[in-house]
Structure 1
């Protein structure tokens, strides 16, 4: 097990190094979505781990909030207090957001924490089981507008359409600022119709699929997109690689990328007025060699198997590896994908043989990180140099 785990660590380190070459020198990294605490789902984000995660890439800071904590009742009060303490301990690196439960004095808890130094509000309609037409949201948005603090709201999986109700809340509170998490994939088309070009509304990039981020860049100006990892769910180098490579594939300029990676979020953190968005730079169609489309398809099939802790009985990673053998002019990219997938295959097999559940979980998460990197490369292959037919073995 240790041998294959060391291979994985070596690959992560190598991709850390190659990623730095893609990040503009002028970029100041700021992560718009991290957690600190422990979730009832078993994931944990201890303070020291979070700070190490941010410092490894030289991040200036992050918007931070608690998880769906075991002691979340009443009103996330204890967890919010821990977030405030972590922010104070970090010396300004963590910008604390207060997390609310609409069933337990949300307005009172928001005021309490904002008075104590919180600088944003976190809402999670899936975890806290509320709809966006809930009348208890109106005073929360009004408070955010009055205090000039952003609201970050879960916009990912597990939700019905949310765009129309969110639009109504923002129309009623034009001074409010909103960060829609996870690219707004729960309702991306409608959200972009309502909010593309809307000053003070942003989307964070904390998703697993590079296609979702490419779609976002095709619908929303880059001035409205902020880099986010969703730590501890998002890890490096995958989170940054996802944002950087999709931005380049979408045609963002270097100044655009500087803003996405931190400039825009730093202005939000500083309380500066929102800038006027331009036009979306991305394309509504995906350009991808067919072999890379096949690789992406097989890797996408692997993800739900991993998440549900199943073995690769279908052999999807073998299919992805076989697709890497095609000769289409992207030899270097295919070789890098093959190396990642081969290591993931071996890790996945090792996870099935692990005796302790903790080992299986750790190996499974490392396997996902490898597959995620491979998929990002496959989907964004257009930014790769194309080999000549001779060097690719064609002709």
Structure 2
């Protein structure tokens, strides 16, 4: 096939089928972290695209909020109004959260939007440049507890250690339900140590690396985990595949996987009391065939090159491809799957346009990354 993009799209469709095979029978899916709007970094979440993806993958509902919008001043008012309009348009599929800026009347904006139908609060300390010891957080948590709505807070890259300060706020307002986004990878071990076992505190699964989710499952019980994509940054089928395969590798039962996929978030959305967390079920020691370890290493090296739109001058993708020739590890099928994905990614990377429409270039780069990401998920989550 001559068209690299067409080939990439066909491969994605094949992995859609793989995701469906991984799902427990009759499983509902509730995405606890999605965005609609346009971010100042250029990323856009489009209503029709999100709803179409929900229908395609059987996602019944989502928590949804705006991005770090160009018109975010004052206090995300315009973005929050769009969020409420999207939610109304969706007929209940999209559950709106109000996004707040601590420096621009957060309580006034939260109250306004909650009165208009918002069902949760979104906070982003990196984007809005505040720390978790900020006293302006206290009235927000107090309001969330009073209104019985959850708070979702960014817990991913770009933050200093946050566990102690966030833990103190949680202790002060134990009735406020909290979702720590991106599995809390900014301070994962300390967050799990501080907040693990606390009913009403959750971690979402929107991460790039399967190792982060395997690390999470060994530290908190499945009752504290909610499936999330971080659309439009996270995309299918990788988002579901990484969550499903790591949950299986961590030893979760079908019922526990169902709760991660939807049950825990359904209870949050309904304002129901959370389940008491059980003991963590994850693995303490991670092992994998050497060829998969090599592939993962090379793909980890390739990812930042691709994100910064650099050519693969080092040849790391070629090294990963060469590692798929190892026929001694007993996983020929998985190595062939990885090889097919990486061959398509190589062709896409080589065809990455250096000039032209910026949106087209970004879309091409993201399609290439999606292939590499799927290959890496397979490499990390194939049992030894």
Say yes or no: TM over 0.5. yes
- In the alignment, structure 1 segments of 5+ residues that lack a partner are 384-395
Distance, in Å, in 1 between the alignment partners of 2:325 and 2:62 is 41
Distance, in Å, in 2 between the alignment partners of 1:55 and 1:107 is 35
Distance, in Å, in 2 between the alignment partners of 1:56 and 1:150 is 27
Distance, in Å, in 1 between the alignment partners of 2:309 and 2:145 is 43
> Quick check: 1:35–1:67 contact (8 Å CA) kept in 2?
yes
| CA shift for structure 1 position 27 | 1.1
Residue number in structure 2 paired with 1:341: 342
- In the alignment, structure 2 segments of 5+ residues that lack a partner are none
**Aligned partner of residue 351 in structure 1, secondary structure:** coil
| CA shift for structure 1 position 356 | 3.5
Distance, in Å, in 2 between the alignment partners of 1:45 and 1:53 is 12
Residue number in structure 1 paired with 2:129: 129
**Aligned partner of residue 21 in structure 1, secondary structure:** helix
| Aligned CA distance change for structure 1 residues 231 and 2 (closer, same or farther; 3 Å) | farther
Residue number in structure 1 paired with 2:365: 364
**Aligned partner of residue 17 in structure 1, secondary structure:** helix
Distance, in Å, in 1 between the alignment partners of 2:310 and 2:34 is 28
Residue number in structure 2 paired with 1:390: none
Residue number in structure 1 paired with 2:206: 206
Q: How does 1:161-176 map to 2 (within 5 A)?
A: 161-176=161-176
Residue number in structure 1 paired with 2:27: 27
Distance, in Å, in 2 between the alignment partners of 1:357 and 1:87 is 30
Deviations 1:182-231 (A, max 9, x none): 00000001000011111000000001111001100111101111110000
Distance, in Å, in 1 between the alignment partners of 2:312 and 2:306 is 8
Residue number in structure 2 paired with 1:380: 381
- How high is the TM-score relative to the length of structure 2? 0.98
Residue number in structure 2 paired with 1:80: 80
Distance, in Å, in 1 between the alignment partners of 2:63 and 2:175 is 20
> Quick check: 1:351–1:359 contact (8 Å CA) kept in 2?
no
Distance, in Å, in 2 between the alignment partners of 1:198 and 1:101 is 27
Distance, in Å, in 1 between the alignment partners of 2:357 and 2:111 is 45
| CA shift for structure 1 position 279 | 0.7
Stretch deviating more after TM superposition (81-90 or 50-59): 50-59
| CA shift for structure 1 position 2 | 6.8
Q: How does 1:226-241 map to 2 (within 5 A)?
A: 226-241=226-241
| CA shift for structure 1 position 357 | 3.0
**Aligned partner of residue 33 in structure 1, secondary structure:** strand
| CA shift for structure 1 position 306 | 1.0
Query: What is the count of residue pairs matched by the alignment?
Result: 383
Deviations 1:344-378 (A, max 9, x none): 01100000456443332111100100000000000
Distance, in Å, in 1 between the alignment partners of 2:22 and 2:255 is 13
> Quick check: 1:30–1:59 contact (8 Å CA) kept in 2?
yes
Q: Are positions 1:103 and 2:93 aligned together? A: no
Residue number in structure 1 paired with 2:251: 251
Distance, in Å, in 2 between the alignment partners of 1:219 and 1:288 is 20
Q: How does 1:7-18 map to 2 (within 5 A)?
A: 7-18=7-18
| CA shift for structure 1 position 263 | 1.0
Distance, in Å, in 1 between the alignment partners of 2:46 and 2:135 is 34
Q: How does 1:1-395 map to 2 (within 5 A)?
A: 3-327=3-327, 328-352=329-353, 355-382=356-383
> Quick check: 1:27–1:263 contact (8 Å CA) kept in 2?
no
> Quick check: 1:16–1:237 contact (8 Å CA) kept in 2?
yes
Distance, in Å, in 2 between the alignment partners of 1:228 and 1:191 is 18
Distance, in Å, in 2 between the alignment partners of 1:359 and 1:338 is 26
> Quick check: 1:311–1:352 contact (8 Å CA) kept in 2?
no
Distance, in Å, in 1 between the alignment partners of 2:52 and 2:92 is 15
Residue number in structure 2 paired with 1:386: none
| CA shift for structure 1 position 55 | 1.4
**Aligned partner of residue 279 in structure 1, secondary structure:** coil
- How high is the TM-score relative to the length of structure 1? 0.95
